[in-house]
Amino acid sequence: MKRAARWSLLAALSLGTAGAQDLKAYAALASNLDGAVTARAQSPQAALNRLDAAQSALDTLAPTLRNQQIVRGLTDALSGARGALARTPAELEAQVLLARGLMRKALYDQTLAALSAAPDNSDAQLQVLAREFGLGAASQTLAQDARAGRLERTAWQLQRAAAAKVVSALQATRAEQTTASYVNLARATGWFTTVQDATGVGTLRVSQFGDALRQLTAGDTAALATSLSTLRQGAAALNRSLATPPASSGAGTGGSGGQPTTSPAQGTPAPTPAPTPTPAPQPRPQPAPAATASAAGALATAYAELGRAQAAAGHGDAAAAREALTQASAALARVPAPLRDNAAFAQVTAATERAQGRSALRVSDVQALIGGLANAERQQAGQGASALDTTSLGISRWFSGWLRVLVFLLLALATAAPLYLLNLAFGGRNTYWRAIMTGLALLMLPLMLEGVFGFLGALGDVFGAGALRGLTNLTLTQSAYALPIWALLSAVAIGLMAFGFRGLCEQFGLLGAGSSSAKNTTVESAATVDWDEEL
């Protein structure tokens, strides 16, 4: 068994000596990913800024990573993290945990390969690796084994630390659809990425962790309980197989030392033994794909691009919104079955393609697409769909673009008719009627703004005039900033109309003391009523 492990290591290393990773970019990527989770609690925008910095760091790190499958997995995980910003902090943390696991995998693989080829030049990577795995005081032993060429013991220390984290995270996971269970299961998945090819891993696979995550998000607690039991047994068996250090094959240089496994990595604190004796099945190495992060990558990218489209539409940049919708369509086209075959998903795909060529794109159009995509996910998971999202997606197909613009423009122009007729019928000298007319105008003001500025913004979109296009931001249906303004206008309108109608009621003797005739006489003498004689 040891000889087979040694030959497996040598075969892996013979594929080519790994170049040194850009450790500065690695540290920046790790710091910004972890920082995004912390910043999300205070401000989604601050979290987005950290994710942008993480993407920049990944662009620098990627050329120094040997395994391009990991690069793709990290890219998908970052896209998933962006999409999670529009949903819950737990989803963002889960995506970051998966990304961190892939990072440690790449560092683990390339550091061991570098140690085999040139142990004296790998101290910096080894120090980062020890810190990522939380070895603490044991890092000195790790460095001694690495310099002596004892790669089996070097790998064993790292695997033991990662395996202990898998057990710890699984023990904290309950067969319940809760945020804590979701995050802990994602943490276990990321850690298992490091040790999935270890000698004692048996039949435990990354895909089983992915299945458990899907069962948790779908609310299938019965199946989740079974999966967790299987995962815990396999993780306990792995810990037991790593309880005893491998026999030293003697100091050597290069790749003379055997390694039980090479696999993806994710950092962990010092190892803690996991008792639960379970016999380890016959080991069978498996490639180290970024399975979990890549599986939801296309869908997460679609959510991220839809979020960008919504943000662009929210400040009147319809061109950027359409460009983001084009990227969202491309991501939706990569979504695998069975979700791709869902009828609701097909409707969202078609609606997204139509929206790409739509003028006067507004926030509500993109919101309908996001709601429709979420509905498709819920239906595929066997959950109830939102009737409101379904209706919104259907209405946005026809009541949008120029039809919406022209309808609101006509309504805005039509508001002049009742105001003109009110003034014509009752005149403007009566204080109470003036208050009523002003209040009515304020109630109609959002409609006027939507019609006029929505039309001008649509013209700016067609002719590429940025100043005109930005006028849509003056409508009260564009963004959340307008809600308090709308509420203030409505409050003033209600106050003015209440004042006006109360005054008229007092004039007619319906409210207050005194006779109606006395009130009317007073009003006439004050020359404030010019319509009572007609009555």
**Ordered DSSP codes for 206-244:** HHHHHHHHHHHHHT-HHHHHHHHHHHHHHHHHHHHHTSS
Query: Measured between alpha carbons, how far is residue 422 from residues 212, 404, 419, 462 in Å?
Result: 67, 28, 5, 37
With b meaning 16 or more CB within 10 Å and e meaning fewer, what string describes 437-460?
bbbbbbbbbbbbbbbbbbbbbbbb
Alpha helices in 357-386 (DSSP H): 363-380
141 and 157 Cβ atoms separated by less than 8 Å: yes
d(CA 82, CA 96): 10
| Cα gap 255→155, rounded to integer Å | 13
CB 294 within 8 A of CB 72: yes
Which two tokens mark 330?
A: 């491309």
Which 3 state secondary structure label does DSSP give 376?
A: helix
Buried b (16+ CB within 10 A) or exposed e, 324-336: bbbbbbebbeebe
- Least Cα distance to 396 among 348, 462, 449 occurs for 348
Q: Please name which of 47, 53, 104 lies closest in space to residue 81, comparing C-alpha atoms.
A: 47
Rounded Cα gap, residues 449 and 273, in angstroms: 67
Q: Minimal CA–CA distance to 75: which of 310, 349, 353, 331? A: 331
CA distances from 87 to 73, 178, 529 (A): 21, 15, 59
**pLDDT per residue rounded down to tens, the chain (535 residues):** 333 333 333 333 333 334 567 888 888 888 888 888 888 877 778 888 889 898 998 999 888 888 888 888 888 888 888 888 777 788 888 888 888 888 888 888 888 877 776 666 567 778 888 888 887 767 778 778 777 777 888 888 888 888 888 888 898 888 888 888 888 898 989 888 877 777 778 888 888 888 888 888 888 888 888 989 899 988 888 888 888 887 655 443 333 333 333 333 333 333 333 333 333 333 333 333 343 344 356 788 888 889 999 998 988 888 889 888 988 888 888 887 777 778 888 899 889 989 988 888 999 999 999 999 988 888 887 888 889 999 999 999 899 999 999 999 999 999 999 999 988 888 767 889 999 999 999 999 999 999 999 999 999 988 888 889 889 999 998 888 889 999 999 999 999 999 999 998 988 888 865 444 444 444 444 444 444 434 3
Give the integer Cα–Cα distance in Å for 8 and 517.
Answer: 108
CA distance linking residue 434 with residue 232, whole number of Å: 76
Query: Cβ-count burial of 211 within 10 angstroms (0-12 exposed, 13-18 middle, 19+ buried)?
Result: middle
Q: Residue 322 carries which side chain, given as an amino acid letter?
A: R
> How far is it, in rounded angstroms, from Cα 506 to Cα 367?
48
* Radius of gyration of the chain from its Cα atoms, rounded to whole angstroms: 33
CA distance 311 to 308: 5
d(CA 114, CA 66): 12
Question: Would the pTM of this model clear 0.75, i.e. be above it?
Answer: no
CB 345 within 8 A of CB 376: yes
E strands along 80-133, which residues?
Answer: none
Buried b (16+ CB within 10 A) or exposed e, 34-45: bbbbebbeeebe
What's the Cα-to-Cα distance from 350 to each of 382, 394, 399, rounded to whole Å? Answer: 22, 11, 16
Instruction: Note the pLDDT of residue 93.
Output: 87
Look up residue 501 and give its two tokens. Answer: 């109608």
Cβ 146 vs Cβ 155: under 8 Å: no
Q: Please give the structure tokens belonging to residue 58.
A: 């990944």
The whole-angstrom distance between residue 144's C-alpha and the CA centroid of its chain comes to 42
At CA 317, angle to CA 314 and CA 323, rounded to 5?
105
Determine the 3-state secondary structure of 13 from DSSP: helix
- Tokens (6 digits) for 165: 């984290």
Instruction: Compute the C-alpha angle 69/71/73, nearest 5°.
Output: 70
Q: Residue 506's pLDDT is what?
A: 87
Distance of CA 84 to the CA centre of its chain: 1
Residue 338 near residue 380 (C-beta atoms within 8 A) = yes
Q: Is the bond preceding residue 418 a cis peptide, omega within 30 degrees?
A: no
